[in-house]
Chains A and B, each alone.
Chain A
Amino acid sequence: MNTPQHGRHRGLVARLLLMAAASFAFGFALVPLYDVFCEVTGFGSRERLRGPAVAAAAAPDRARTVTVEFTASVPSDMAWRLQPQVAALEVQPGQLYEAHFIATNLAPHAATAVAVPGVTPARALRHFRKTECFCFAPQSFAAGEQRELPVRFLVDRELPAGVDRLTLAYTFYDAARAPASGGGG
């Protein structure tokens, strides 16, 4: 069917197909772009949220107190309990603190959980630094075991002036159903 008509269309069709392929690739490119975008806009990257931070050695800002609230949740289909030991802590920017979460494996068998952290408000995220956290690695528990899990953190002195309260949240996921530490996305 090689009428001159078809020859005339071929170039345009090829260009349009290329456009479609480029859009398909762009859809996937949005995944890394999303991280770049979050970093640039000051959201902070997911890497930073999940990995240890270096605590800048600075004198604490005695003039300022910030409330850090703790909260934890577990998907309804998981036999776990996770609770903060205290609901909130008054902290001074620049100083290192330690807080504890109490985790219980309610299942009659050993199990491993991954804790995923979150910090709100978003603009406080890059100023909240965890030097040590149970969320850096999967946590294994024997059947029925209960344990205290520590997190050491500081809020740095560059925390924007308007923020006087921030929330650190953890969600537990079953490691058996999730790829271990840090996979894919």
Chain B
Amino acid sequence: MVEAAVAMDHAGHAAPARGLTRWLTSTNHKDIGTLYLVFALVMFLVGGAMALLIRAELHAPGLQLVNPGFYNQILTVHALLMVFGAVMPATVGLANWMIPLQIGAADMALPRLNLFSFWLLFFASVLLTSTLFLPGGAPAAGWTLYPPLVLQSGSAFPVAIFSIHLMGASSIMGAINVIVTVLNMRTPGMTLLKMPLFCWAWLITAYLLIAVMPVFAGSVTMLLTDYFLATSFFNPAGGGDPVLYQHVFWFFGHPEVYIMILPAFGIVSEIIPTFARKPIFGYDSMVYAIASIAFLSFIVWAHHMFTVGMPVAGQLFFMMATMLIAVPTGVKVFNWTATLWRGSISFEPPMLFALAFLFLFTLGGLSGLMMAIAPVDLQYHDSYFIVAHFHYVLVPGAVFAIIAGVYYWLPKWTGHQYSVRLGQWHFWLTAISVNVMFFPQHFLGLAGMPRRIPDYATPFADWNAVSTIGSFVFGFAQLLFVWLVWRCARGGERATAQVWDGAHGLEWTVPSPPPYHTFATPPELR
């Protein structure tokens, strides 16, 4: 059956298969993009439900809803699902849909690999979620899976590790596909430095993925052999060192956070020029900024480990290197702002989310800078301050950019214009509640509330209650989004090919929705 799908793909004119077969066997980049996006949305809701459970428990001091062991399991699975099941697949979905359309290619370079990586991810995520219900429960050591704690996991431990292996394999295959597509399949005349910034951001992300996902696979493999074969990579009793795990993990972990944010940078770099009706300010410097962020992300990992007892020289190095990242990041923020300068700006939902991204991501970057200062990080580390930091860069950062991207390209995908009013409601509810939810966590952290604990001292009660209220408003506001997307898929006012009057690029030259097969012959660049 795969054969058939591929054959028809290459024929280039066949209609999609019917019903379920289409979704199980399609190698069409648009179908796979849709699968990834829908899957990411479902995982966002599942992971979000877990987050609401966590916030419900934290609404008041004391233990109300869950026992501490389960709290830590749900916390761990929430984070892993959001990172590997929601944010990353959403950006892969956008890449699948948009990269071929943006560079004038007929499909992704390796369609069958594409199909395989999606289903691998699907089963891996199901496997990971299933550990919650297996004997011994899910790992409970947090998404960083630090030994020795994680080695106390129950018999579901190998299942969790295996699911991580599969997710890693899936994203490496996805990355290979993106690189090959971008490097080999651009329409004639589209040089690398004429490529849309979304493609650039994804190209560099893909290289990051290939460089660090295998390192993560290696580190969890070592956990596995420590667990079963007593290899003692990380077990001090056998001559190992748990701090070594932290080095290996964060060598992956810090680039990983950029794997989540670089595609977001790319999306925002597409949206802001469209709605400011001006070309992006400083295109070349945007490309170099992404590249230098990616490069620097390899030499800052130990800013997650200032408290392990590093030599002062090491702390200084990692502190300086981390602060250096603020320079290219600052260049990007400057360029986005300069693009807005004297633009004729309109505030449709994609732009609203992109602007909120600009403000709130920057805020998250600033708390990052605070924590980059090694001597003061001793206080912030493992407190709610860091929880506030990474949620600012990940939710109003990465997630807002993804939502903005969906609002931007949804009319292109479905051929229908959605209700802008509903989108605006969704935006305001989301943008306000996200701050109600996460801003107070800065205060909690500075006041000394530790992360990953289901209970806390009573002085922290008020801000926790505020945060929980914010989280529930945020959670339910997302149902508006689901409703909007559903309605837009079903029907609505016809969208034009260009959709937004300020939009430029090859993806806006094909009809909305695009035919099943686009750019069978490479398009002319204007």
A interface vs B, CB < 8 Å? 1, 3, 5, 8-9, 12-13, 16-17, 19-21, 23-28, 30-31, 34, 41-43, 46, 50, 114, 116, 120-123, 171, 173-175, 177-179, 181-185
Q: Is B241 on the interface with A (CB-CB < 8 A)? A: yes
B232-A179 in contact (CB<8A): yes
Give A183 to B235 CA distance when docked, in angstroms.
10
Q: A19-B211, A20-B210, A185-B244 are in contact. Are A116 and B218 (CB under 8 A)?
A: no
Total cross-chain contacts (CB, 8 A): 125
Give A121 to B210 CA distance when docked, in angstroms.
38
B248-A30 in contact (CB<8A): yes
Among A27, A31, A122, the residue within 8 A (CB) of B217 is A27
Of all chain A residues, the one with the shortest Cβ separation from B109 is: A9
Set of chain B residues within 8 Å of A8, measured between Cβ atoms = 184
B231-A183 in contact (CB<8A): yes
Q: A24-B217, A27-B215, A27-B217 are in contact. Are A184 and B233 (CB under 8 A)?
A: yes
A178-B309 in contact (CB<8A): no
Offer 25 A-B interface pairs, CB within 8 angstroms, sorted by A. A1-B6, A1-B10, A3-B10, A9-B180, A13-B110, A13-B176, A16-B176, A17-B176, A23-B213, A24-B215, A24-B218, A26-B218, A46-B239, A123-B311, A174-B237, A178-B235, A179-B230, A183-B230, A183-B231, A184-B226, A184-B232, A185-B234, A185-B239, A185-B240, A185-B244
Among A9, A23, A41, A181, the residue within 8 A (CB) of B212 is A23
A interface, by DSSP: helix, strand, loop or mixed? helix
A183-B311 in contact (CB<8A): no
B247-A23 in contact (CB<8A): no
Question: B residues 460-498 with Cβ under 8 Å of A?
Answer: none
Interface size class of B (residues with CB under 8 A): 35 or more
Give A183 to B251 CA distance when docked, in angstroms.
25
A46-B241 in contact (CB<8A): yes
Instruction: State how many angstroms separate the Cβ of B166 from the closest Cβ of chain A.
Output: 15
Give A114 to B248 CA distance when docked, in angstroms.
26
Set of chain A residues within 8 Å of B311, measured between Cβ atoms = 41-43, 122-123
Among B6, B218, B219, B231, the residue within 8 A (CB) of A185 is B231
Give A5 to B112 CA distance when docked, in angstroms.
14
Instruction: State how many angstroms separate the Cβ of B27 from the closest Cβ of chain A.
Output: 11
A27-B248 in contact (CB<8A): yes
Set of chain B residues within 8 Å of A121, measured between Cβ atoms = 309
Interface centre among A1, A17, A174 (most CB of B within 10 A): A1
B237-A12 in contact (CB<8A): no
Q: A9-B110, A19-B210 are in contact. Are A184 and B231 (CB under 8 A)?
A: yes
